Amino acid sequence: MSKFIDKLKNVSKGYVRPMGFNAVASVPQPKMLLAAELGIEDLTDKETFGGADVVIVSAGKASAKKLKETADMLGDTIWGVALGDKAADAEKMAKAGADFVVFSPDAEVSPLTALEKTGKIIMLENNLTDFMIRAADCLSVGAVIVGEQADTAALSWRKIMLYQRFVDILSKPFLVRVSSNITLSELQSLWALGIDGVLVSGNAGLKELRTLIDGAEWAAKRKRGHMSAIVPSLKMPTSESVAPEEPEEPDEDD
């Protein structure tokens, strides 16, 4: 089972206060997860990914030897591989030690369904229809990343509205792509929506983001999940019961 997907699920469930006399009061409250996407050639030393909870490696056509060297350098850091639509390399990445693979909806099905212990994360465009988002939520994947391209733009109201759709429909944990210069208030706005983590491209500003996240207070997130349709109830009003009139008794003189 994927360690990263387990972490995402724990964050998505939220903080549960321990109960009982032996409860540990120091259980850490969940906070926004930070993922970094880096090219395999950019991973020259541990400083390049310092601060990230997880690293997504763009491996391209890296050799098995290069993958082994990268895995050794990453050490205990959880890492996965961005496959795009090239799912044929999924097994090779899993054997190299990848905790999960990230793929696009155009990737072939067979190489990915063959993975048993490696997590699967699908990357979706942020302008999908509600129907397609619901369909993605039914797939046998552990999590979702919203945004297929690196994002350098500031957080806008349009993005908030687009993310709100995913929050209302998806039951799976998910991350969104953000700019590395995102502010703390913007991160907390995403967290309040129900978003579990953010993904930045490259290592610029990575340590600063780590400091922001670790030093902030993360409020309890609101519940999210499937958006259900509201069906109006047509209920006829109950008519008041009227007692039947008793017939008048005829007069004795008649």
Where residue 47 sits, what CATH number does that domain have?
3.20.20.70
User: Would you say residue 225 lies in a domain?
Assistant: no
* Overall number of domains in the chain: 1
Evaluate whether residue 20 is within a structural domain: no
pLDDT, position 209: 93
Q: Is 22's pLDDT higher than 50?
A: yes
Residue 237 lies in a domain: no
Whether 123 maps to a domain, the answer reads yes
E strand or H helix at 135? helix 130-137
Lowest-pLDDT choice from 84-88, 123-127, 136-140, 152-156: 152-156
Domain that holds residue 142: 28-215
Half-sphere exposure of 162 (CA within 13 A, CB side): 15
**Residue 4 falls inside a structural domain:** no
User: Residue 4: exposed, middle, or buried by beta-carbon count in 10 A (0-12, 13-18, 19+)?
Assistant: buried
- Residue, of 240 and 63, whose pLDDT is higher: 63
Residue 105 domain flag: yes
Q: What percent of the chain has pLDDT over 70?
A: 81
pLDDT in tens, 186-208: 999 999 999 999 999 988 889 99
**59 located within any domain:** yes
Q: Report which of 32, 52, 34, 36 is spatially closest to residue 216, judged by C-alpha positions.
A: 32
Q: Position of tokens 């490259």?
A: 202
